[in-house]
Amino acid sequence: MEEKRKFIRLDVGVNVKWKKLHDEIFEDTSINKDISEGGICLIIEERLRIGDRLQLEIGLPDKKSITAVGRVAWVSEYGVVYDNHKRNYDTGVEFMEIEDVDRQEISKFVFGGVNNN
């Protein structure tokens, strides 16, 4: 089955902080699998629900933090190699609220990285 994506993704780690939209404290994570102008895939230890809304702070190189609100679009669970009892979750987050200028910064970052690979 062929996968169809709206946006080109760049497999790269960027600094990301996230929290559920109405929580007080950010969960600090710097682990993500990829990013596109349409969303980001986070690797996290908490199983979120599809539809959960997240506040994100994304640090791109040479750019102040980008803030966005996203919606969990999908979750994929997997075991951790070094600990049979631990689970991690690839969590696809679609950007729902993001400034156009910030979306353009992500796009420049992605296409710059894609063209350099």
Exposure string over 48-65, b if 16+ CB within 10 A, otherwise e: beeeeebbbbbebeeeee
pLDDT digits (tens, 9 = 90+) for 10-67: 667 788 999 998 888 887 676 788 899 999 999 888 899 999 999 999 998 877 789 9
Sign of the dihedral defined by the CA atoms of residues 42, 46, 47, 52, in that order = negative
User: Would you state the structure tokens that stand for residue 5, as one six-digit string?
Assistant: 């994506």
Within-domain flag for 41: yes
Within-domain flag for 95: yes
As a whole number, the mean pLDDT across the chain is: 84
User: What total number of domains does the chain contain?
Assistant: 1
- pTM of the predicted model as reported, rounded to 2 decimal places: 0.82
Within-domain flag for 51: yes
Give residue 113's pLDDT. 60
Phi, psi of 82 (to 5 degrees): -85, -5
The range of the structural domain enclosing residue 96 comes to 15-116
Within-domain flag for 5: no
Name the E strands within the chain.
15-20, 27-29, 32-36, 39-44, 53-59, 66-80, 83-98
Per-residue pLDDT at 70 exceeds 90: yes
Banded model confidence at residue 99, pLDDT cuts 50, 70, 90: very high
Within-domain flag for 72: yes
Give residue 13's pLDDT. 76
CATH value at residue 20: 2.40.10.220
Within-domain flag for 3: no
Give residue 37's pLDDT. 92
Per-residue pLDDT at 1 exceeds 50: no
Within-domain flag for 9: no
